Structure 1
Amino acid sequence: MALDSATQVTADPDGRVELRDHSAIADSPHYNPELAPVPLERRTWTTYNFFALWVGMATNIPSYLLAAGLVAIGMNWLQAFLTITLGNIIVLGPMLLNSHAGTKYGIPFPVFARAFYGVRGANLAALLRAFVACGWFGIQTWVGGQAIHGIVGKLAGTGWSGAPVVAGQPWTLWFSFFAFWLLQMAIIWRGMDAVRVLENWAAPLVALGLMALTGWVLIKAGGLGPILAEPSKLGWGLDFWKVFVPSLMGMIAFWATLSLNMPDFTRFGGSQRKQVLGQVLGLPTTMSFIALLSVVTTSGTVVLYGEAIWDPVALTAKFESPVAVVIGLVMVILATISTNLAANVVSPSYDFSNALPKLISFRVGGLITGVIGIVIMPWRLITDPNIYIFAWLGFYGGLLAAVAGVLVGGYWVHARTKLDLPELYVAGGRYWFKAGWNWRAVVATLVGSVLAVGGAYNGPFPADGLIPFLKPLYDYNWVVGLVGGMLVYLALTPRRENA
């Protein structure tokens, strides 16, 4: 092993780098044990661990809603399946590119971002990603609350399900939502060990529940024949392609968050090969499987009920047997907790901790995530598939794509995957830039974001777009944000700089 005696930085034969001695940076205000580089002996995740991580994170109700939403807006089963599969193959690219730094240096996403945004400026990228995770946390919690409400309603009768309305929803639904929120906060407060134990057995249950739901619909609809014969309301002409492109951007944006913060997980990787293979095997396959179940089931509801029921909780409530309803929705609750805490708490906890490392711990960061998850009003985001896919997914996907562009361009083109590990934690060093901020990365992010989402015109946005002349770009927002952020950063950054 090569050893730098001054900094105690060692390079393993497989390319992974380790900071053996933290004493020189431990007192820095930008350091805490949770943000510190992971030692090699703790980088033990195998190919299976990364595969299982993706199975757990992708097997969730919002993944189901994603595919079902495409059927609800007029696609047939094949169009929806192809759109989702293609989107997940595309997003895997930047995800693997950003994952490399986590495995090589053992650092989480916000520390990785310091190399290009500055030690302080990294908070721009980290908090932008964190607030999106808070939104996802809220959406998942709302889904879990609906499941609890459905279970109790099936057992307690109309007195519960038909309770007086408060702020547009029965008060009992609000009660279920906050009860589910408190349950997750209790698990978060117990720390990541409690989350890991839950994930080990809870996540696969939702796959069993969704397969059972699909089987029930197939039986009721008379098999696959009537479902596969259900025509697309959009056809394969211009009407389809007008919907396909923004839908594809939405599918990519679904995992745009993880394409940034996968270093939070790959920092524990046993090798680059293990993390790459595990992710390639885990993400596209699981998402395609869930998409197939979703589009078949939702297409079946069109045959059965004359309309697309894209919410599996609402569909499960149509079961005649109360026992079947309870079993199905309990699976939804357990798997939702598992997925929510893994995908939507780990990253923002690191991100909020990065803002004030000496004051905000992982647990406190998780509680902040929970509070913001309520404030963002997730019940409004998933009431309409057009808002869910085009407004929510499309808009934030474009914003995060610009950040991804800066990171990919900075790490692979300028830094050529070489970072000065100790300097990521100190003030006044290589990555301090100007007062802790790299203005080039900030400008690149702003320009890329404006190009990507400046023309937003769906949902709550003006029909002519926020910035009318940018409206044509909005349908391609993720690609525009990624390429725009990368090119502007590379153009602004002198070749003599490594980052």
Structure 2
Amino acid sequence: MTAVEGMPPGTAAGDTRADGGDGATSSVLYTYDLAPTKKQGRRWGAYNVFTLWANDVHSLGNYAFAIGLFALGLNVWGILAAFALASVLLFLLLTLSGFMGHKTGVPFPVMSRIAFGIRGAKIPAAVRGIVAIAWFGIQTYLASAVLSALLIAMFPGLRGLDSNSLLGQSTLGWISFLSLWALQLLIVSYGMQMIRRYMAFAAPTTLITMLALAVWMFVRADGSISLSVDAPLTGGAMWLQILQAAALWVVIYGTFVLNFCDFTRSARSRGSIVRGNVIGIPLNMLFFAVIVVVLSGAQFKLDGHVITSPTDIVRTIPNMVLLATASLALIALTVAVNLLANFVAPIYALIDLFPRRLNFRRAGVVSAVVGLVILPWNLYNSPIVVNYFLGGLGALLGPLFGVIMADYWLLRKSRINVPDLYSEDPQGEYHYSRGFNPRAVAAFVPAAAVAVVVALVPFFHAAAGFSWFVGALLAAVFYALIADRGAQIRDVDGESIAVAAE
């Protein structure tokens, strides 16, 4: 995809945006990449929304989490129940979030201006971006480990390149990491339409590969699986684990719930979002759960051990061609997940922070470079960093979601003045007090403090999995109580402006 004459430098053809509004539009708030999507730029149908979930749900990290439930003592039916409950919750949350993107056509940093103000919105965008960049590096590292193992299996002579260490990585590790790092940067450099096309390719590849792997394991186990470990949970302990598992699964998607509008801003209709979500979340997640119980149950029947990831099974495939095919499919899957969950969000956050210097392509380069220089393998191998730094930041996402959703759905009833999202006029609807909404901050801070304490303080360990919900509900309640609807929604000619860039 190339730049089109008349478009800003670095602009990808096919990503058409709406006009910036009236003469009060600010060049600090309005850029090509942050502008609302016009109707002709809305190319995401139900299949595209489905492929987003088909890729993201089947990530290696998600498989490790789900298989861990089997190891913790949940039986097959408990795992299926946990994912059924989680899928219903996620479908509702993501559909509401997706509708916001479709109506306004704006990305998450701009969407945040509605509740937090034209300047205050940089807070949620920055938090989401920092978390995403860290996980971008970590996911790239995990995919590179699969690539390194595949290369050694295919070319045993490369084992010598895997025995040294430079900044925590072997020579082969660096080669694998930089190769996948560059591949993702190349895809992103062509814009959201290329990401959409890559997802369309990766999704069926992922689903077919995981289904084939499950069938192969089922046949190896003589057509049956273990329904649980030797000492499964029962009674109240089982139901508590089911609820915690469902809550943690929603927490895993706490990032996506926030910035789903980055993708649905290009959706053709609300129906496309609903249909894509129905197939991609409840149906696809139950398919995922079935794959999990077959893989873990079959392996446990074979040798009494619980695997930690599908890669454990892939490495046992005796045929080199099949081994290479399965490994490459897992790598393609991880790249797709990384692009969706961890690359797009920081790109828009950086554009919002530096609108006069960065566009989509340049912000992608900056995000990728930061994801490299933090040496993510060291972060991944440090429980303190993952649990306290990334866990603490993750706990902030629930309160942000609570404020934004309460403001949009409860107080404004989805009536949004899109041109004012790009205006620095002191009389603008989202200018509030010097660009910050003090009510949103007042609701967010105490809710965030409670969420972080619940997530990180050992005393609340039993409730840590529910920290996202605690923060989101508290923030929504606080905001609804203190927000003055009359002061926040400015009537024009007796009627609130509701402008959708369609």
> Into which bin does the TM-score normalised by the smaller protein fall?
0.7 to 0.9
Alpha carbon RMSD of aligned pairs, Å?
Answer: 2.9
C-alpha displacement of 1:27: 4.7
- For residues 156-195 of structure 1, the aligned pairs below 5 Å read 156-157=155-156, 160=159, 163-164=162-163, 166=165, 170-195=170-195
Distance 1:443 1:376 in 2: 33
8 Å CA contact retained: 2:68, 2:308:
yes
- Distance in 2, matches of 1:150 and 1:218, equals 25
Tell me whether 48-57 or 444-453 shows the greater mean CA deviation: 48-57
Residue 475 of structure 2: aligned partner: 485
Offset at residue 295 of structure 1 (A): 2.5
The Cα shift of 1:383 comes to: 7.0
Is it true that 1:476 corresponds to 2:438 in the alignment?
no
Name the structure 1 match of 2:126: 127
Return the offset for 1:139.
3.4
273-282 or 379-388: bigger deviation: 379-388
Q: How does 1:243-262 map to 2 (within 5 A)?
A: 243-262=241-260
Which amino acid is the alignment partner of residue 249 of structure 2?
M
Query: How many Å apart are 1:248 and its aligned residue?
Result: 2.3
Q: Does 1:495 align with 2:485?
A: yes
**Equivalences for residues 20-99 of structure 1 within 5 A:** 22=21, 24-25=23-24, 27-99=26-98
Change beyond 3 A, Cα 1:121–1:178: same
Q: Contact (CA 8 Å) 2:102, 2:266: kept in 1 or not?
A: yes
Q: Distance in 2 between matches of 1:209 and 1:381?
A: 30
Equivalent in 413, 418, 423 of residue 415 of structure 2: 418
Q: 1:53 to 1:154 in 2, by over 3 A?
A: same
Q: 1:346 corresponds to which letter in structure 2?
A: V
Distance 1:493 1:134 in 2: 33
CA, structure 1 residues 487+398, in 2 after alignment: closer, same or farther (shift >3 Å)? same
**Counterpart in the other structure of 1:217:** 217
| Alpha carbons of structure 1 residues 288 and 25: separation in structure 2 relative to 1, 3 Å | farther
Match of 2:6 in 1: none
CA distance in 2, matches of 1:313, 1:391: 27
What CA distance in whole angstroms lies between the structure 1 residues aligned with 2:283 and 2:139? 22
C-alpha separation in 2, matches of 1:157 and 1:276: 48
Instruction: Confirm or deny: 8 A CA contact 1:129 1:348 kept in the other structure.
Output: yes
| In 2, Cα distance between equivalents of 1:71 and 1:141 | 26
Matched, 1:330 2:349: no
Relative to 1, partners in 2 of residues 1:129 and 1:301: Cα closer, same or farther, differing over 3 Å?
same
Q: Check 1:481–1:216 CA distance in 2 against 1; reply closer, same or farther (3 A cut).
A: same
Q: Which runs of 5+ in 2 are unaligned?
A: 1-16, 490-502
Q: CA contact under 8 A between 1:43 and 1:267: conserved in structure 2? A: yes
Distance 2:330 2:437 in 1: 44
Contact 1:253/1:396 (<8 A) preserved: no
CA 1:431–1:416: 2 relative to 1, 3 Å:
same
Match of residue 12 from structure 1: none
Alignment-mate amino acid for residue 254 of structure 1: I
SS of the residue 2:454 aligns to = coil
Aligned residue number for residue 7 of structure 1: none
Question: Greater CA deviation, 146-155 or 231-240?
Answer: 231-240
TM-score after normalising by structure 2: 0.85
The whole-number CA distance in structure 1 between the counterparts of 2:338 and 2:468 is: 24
What is the CA-CA distance between 1:47 and the residue it aligns to? 2.9
Distance 1:387 1:72 in 2: 25
Instruction: Identify the residue that residue 351 of structure 1 maps to in structure 2.
Output: 349
Check whether the contact 1:394–1:477 (CA below 8 A) recurs between aligned residues. no
Quick check: 167-176 or 91-100, which moved more? 167-176
Matches within 5 A, 1:394-433: 396-427=393-424, 428=426, 429-433=428-432
Give aligned-pair identity as a percent.
29
What letter matches 2:111 in structure 1? F
Residues 498/23 of structure 1: CA separation in 2 closer, same or farther (3 Å cut): closer
Alpha-carbon shift at residue 237 of structure 1 (Å): 2.9
Superposed CA deviations along residues 42-76 of structure 1, whole A, max 9, x for unmatched, are 23433333233332333432332231222233323
**Matches of 2:104 and 2:458 in 1, distance apart?**
46
> In the superposition, relative to structure 1, how do residues 23 and 418 fare at CA in structure 2: closer, same or farther (>3 Å)?
closer
Corresponding position of 2:494: none
Does the CA contact (< 8 Å) of 1:26 and 1:32 recur in 2? Answer: no
Deviation at 1:233, TM superposition (A): 3.6
The answer on whether the counterparts of 1:117 and 1:441 sit within 8 Å (CA) in structure 2 is: yes
Q: Distance in 1 between matches of 2:130 and 2:282?
A: 25
The question of whether the paired residues in 2 share the 8 Å contact of 1:401 and 1:481 is answered with: yes
Deviation at 1:77, TM superposition (A): 2.6
Which amino acid in the other structure matches residue 280 of structure 1?
A: V
Shift of the 418–397 alpha-carbon distance from structure 1 to 2, 3 Å rule, reads same
Shift of residue 302 of structure 1? 2.0
Partners of 2:183 and 2:248 lie apart in 1 by: 30
Shift of 1:418: 0.8
- For residue 360 of structure 1, what is the amino acid of its counterpart? L
Q: Distance in 2 between matches of 1:445 and 1:324?
A: 50
Letter in 2 for 1:186: L
Query: What residue in structure 1 maps to residue 340 of structure 2?
Result: 342
Q: Distance in 2 between matches of 1:269 and 1:248?
A: 28
- 2:359: which partner in 1? 361
- Corresponding residue for 1:9? none
The code of the aligned residue for 1:250 comes to: L
How far the C-alpha of 1:26 sits from its partner, in A, is 5.1
> Counterpart of 2:9?
none
Which amino acid letter does the alignment assign opposite residue 199 of structure 1?
M
2:103 maps to amino acid: K
Aligned pairs (5 A) from 1:370-449 = 370-374=368-372, 378-379=376-377, 396-427=393-424, 428=426, 429-449=428-448
The 1:168/1:214 distance shift into structure 2, 3 A limit, reads farther
Letter in 2 for 1:492: I
- Higher mean C-alpha deviation, range 376-385 or range 440-449: 376-385
Deviates more, 1:424-433 or 1:168-177: 168-177
Q: How far apart are 1:165 and its partner, in Å? A: 5.1
Task: Tell me the equivalent position of 1:118.
Answer: 117
1-structure distance, mates of 2:319, 2:382: 29
Q: Tell me how far apart the structure 2 counterparts of residues 359 and 431 of structure 1 sit (CA, whole Å).
A: 24
Residues 355-388 of structure 1, C-alpha deviation per residue, up to 9 Å, x if partnerless?
A: 2222221122222332343466654777799998
What secondary structure is seen at the aligned counterpart in 2 of 1:455?
helix
List alignment gaps of at least 5 residues for structure 1: 1-17, 466-470
Q: Cα distance 1:240–1:454, how it changes in 2: closer, same or farther (>3 A)?
A: same
Q: Which amino acid aligns with 1:105?
A: T
Report if the CA contact (8 A) 1:63-1:291 is conserved: no
Matched residue type, 2:57: A
Cα distance in 2, alignment partners of residues 239 and 351 from structure 1: 42
Residue of 310, 313, 331 corresponding to 1:312? 310
Distance 2:383 2:238 in 1: 16
Name the residue aligned to 2:196.
196
Shift of 1:158: 6.9
The question of 1:154 aligning with 2:153 is answered yes
Q: How many residues in Structure 1 have an aligned counterpart in Structure 2?
A: 470
Q: Aligned equivalents of 1:305 and 1:383: distance in 2?
A: 28
* 2:459 is the alignment partner of 1:464: yes
